[in-house]
Amino acid sequence: MSKSHLIYMPLGGAGEIGMNCYVYGYGPKGKERFIIVDLGVTFPDMDGSPGVDLIFPDISWIADRADRLDGIFITHAHEDHIGALGLLWARLRAPVYCRAFTSIHARRKMEEQGQDASHVKVTSPWPETVQAGPFSVGFLPISHSIPESSGLVIDTPEGRVLHTGDFKLDKTPLVGEAYDPELWASVARSGVKALVCDSTNVFSKHPGRSEASLGDNITALIAQQPGMVLATTFASNVARLRTLAVAGVKAGRTVCLLGRAMQRMVDASERSGVLTDFPATVPVEEARDLPRNSLMLIVTGSQGERRAASAQLARGKYLGMKMKDGDTFLMSSKIIPGNERGVFRIVNAYSEMGVDVIDDNDGLYHVSGHANRPDLLELQNLVNPQIVVPMHGEHRHLREHCKMTEAAGRTSVLAPNGTCISLSFDVPQVVEYVETGRTYLDGSVQIGALDGVVRDRIRMALNGHAVVTLIMDENDDPLGDPWVETMGLPETGRSGSPLTEVLEADLAKAVGRLPDKILTDDAKLDEALRKAIRQSANDEVGRKPEVTVVVSRLS
């Protein structure tokens, strides 16, 4: 029997910011027992995944080995760590461990997909641990932008691994546990084999700032505003919701929370006991009747999401509220790269209404939830691991994290999605590369990102679409001329005649020239019609559409 080894393999999150999914294994090669850390999603965009509902990692590799899976551990309740739990659980069928606040979201995710929520087990923080096969796992509190974020202490027969999850070093996070260097030092004291560490903010050079640095700035800002104040942040950033609400109250405002996701997060925080001192708020029905200059709305939609409250208000009335000249929109958030267009669409709409927009360009009204470069080094020095394994980042983040680590005299390893690393040696070794990828939730169906479905949709968006129908009689002669319908093509082109008429005339000519051996061969006839219509469209409107050919034979 071959020697046991300890392996680490990211299936998602090490190649993007989003859809985190990491596998740890221990045992003889081919007989390892596994745990999964996080099952997250990432979000589609028009460029690469139009019409897709959600994106998550292709977990085929671990699903094929689900009989050897001993547990699924969720570090925190952000969608990029928990969002795929309900969608993928049926292929994994292992117990799900997380902390109390996270479990409220985990259970909802399970129920929404028709799974039994009792598979979600609430775990108390370190020093409590869960035994999962050869692993003993504890949840080590650390600060982030959602309550009860935790690193994982993963004890293995080959030593201790610290998996940070998403984190920042905030000693005054205001909601949820503070970063406690004593606690982390105590866990690291016996020696840490590997620190598997968040890379999101590796390019941010200054030490991270605390949530506690914002309140006075926001209070002062709100106090100066002549009209209603509308503030937005991520719904899951419960500490920020509290910071905003407290600042509003201090500035003499009545606070109203708008947006279902936001209300749900506050409720979950209160139910799980992590939030006890959220200021009193009023429902929107009461808010409508208050003077504008005494009111503060906190709303969803910091990333320009079209259906969120901030976007609805930018388009007009929402739940009886309306923005006016003299009001203020405070963006207590950063713009995630790629969301700029959507966010600025809203900002410009507010500008047209005469609403002042305050963003975070001055760094006064937002702090990041991730550890910056100096913070990453600080944690490395505290933990003093044998190896640093950067995770959660695009390739450029992982690579920079490695460079920074090695410049500090430590060993690191660059392990993008699908890289199976053995941690059983002083220097980590690549055991194998596994095929990974993305799965799309497309309507109600899960499809592979490379199945060609979305590629066809992109092609129709770029090229338009034409349908050619032709009926062939019992003698394999065309019964009438080909018929054309187009979608997403101009109605007229070069000649000024209706495009469909031009295409039909050209196709009729082309069909008239086709010899019997093509007219009798479905594949060749399809190809000839396709080629003819693409050529005709290119002549007339400068574009070769996607084509569907339907030949009906009356035989």
> Which residues sit at the interface with a second copy, rule CB under 8 A?
45-47, 50-51, 203, 337-338, 340-341, 344, 347-348, 351-352, 354, 357, 361, 394-396, 398-399, 416, 442-445, 447, 451, 453-454, 456-458, 460-465, 467, 469, 471, 479-480, 483, 485, 487-494, 538, 541-543, 546, 548, 550, 552, 554
Which residue matches tokens 């504890």? 138
Least distance to a second copy from the beta carbon of 146, Å?
A: 24
Q: What amino acid occupies position 221?
A: L
CA distance 34 to 391: 18
Least distance to a second copy from the beta carbon of 442, Å?
A: 6
The Cβ of residue 277 has, within 10 Å, a number of other Cβ atoms equal to 9
Choose between 72 and 349: whose C-beta lies nearer to a second copy. Answer: 349
Least distance to a second copy from the beta carbon of 54, Å?
A: 12
Choose between 266 and 519: whose C-beta lies nearer to a second copy. Answer: 519
Choose between 258 and 454: whose C-beta lies nearer to a second copy. Answer: 454
Choose between 47 and 277: whose C-beta lies nearer to a second copy. Answer: 47
Least distance to a second copy from the beta carbon of 205, Å?
A: 8
Give Cβ neighbours of residue 67 (< 8 Å, ≥ 6 apart). none
Least distance to a second copy from the beta carbon of 285, Å?
A: 32
Q: How far is CA 344 from CA 49, 311, 339, 347, 386, in A?
A: 22, 11, 9, 5, 45
Least distance to a second copy from the beta carbon of 466, Å?
A: 9
Choose between 121 and 465: whose C-beta lies nearer to a second copy. Answer: 465
CA distance 159 to 138: 14
Least distance to a second copy from the beta carbon of 48, Å?
A: 8
Reported in sequence order, the residue ranges of 424-535 that DSSP labels E, i.e. its strands, are: 429-433, 438-442, 445-448, 465-472, 483-487
**DSSP three-state, residue 402:** helix
Side-chain half-sphere exposure of 135, counting CA atoms within 13 A: 32
Choose between 427 and 487: whose C-beta lies nearer to a second copy. Answer: 487
Choose between 461 and 514: whose C-beta lies nearer to a second copy. Answer: 461
Name which of 376, 491, 311, 417 is nearest 8 in CA terms: 417
Choose between 278 and 344: whose C-beta lies nearer to a second copy. Answer: 344
Choose between 319 and 467: whose C-beta lies nearer to a second copy. Answer: 467
For 149-197, what is the HEC assignment? CEEEEEEECCEEEEECCCCECCCCCCCCCCCCHHHHHHHHCCCCCEEEE
Least distance to a second copy from the beta carbon of 463, Å?
A: 6
Which residue matches tokens 């004291």? 189
Name which of 211, 213, 212, 205 is nearest 377 in CA terms: 205
Least distance to a second copy from the beta carbon of 45, Å?
A: 7
3-state helix, strand, coil in the chain (%, to 5): 35, 25, 40
Q: Which residues pair with 56 in a beta bridge?
A: 439
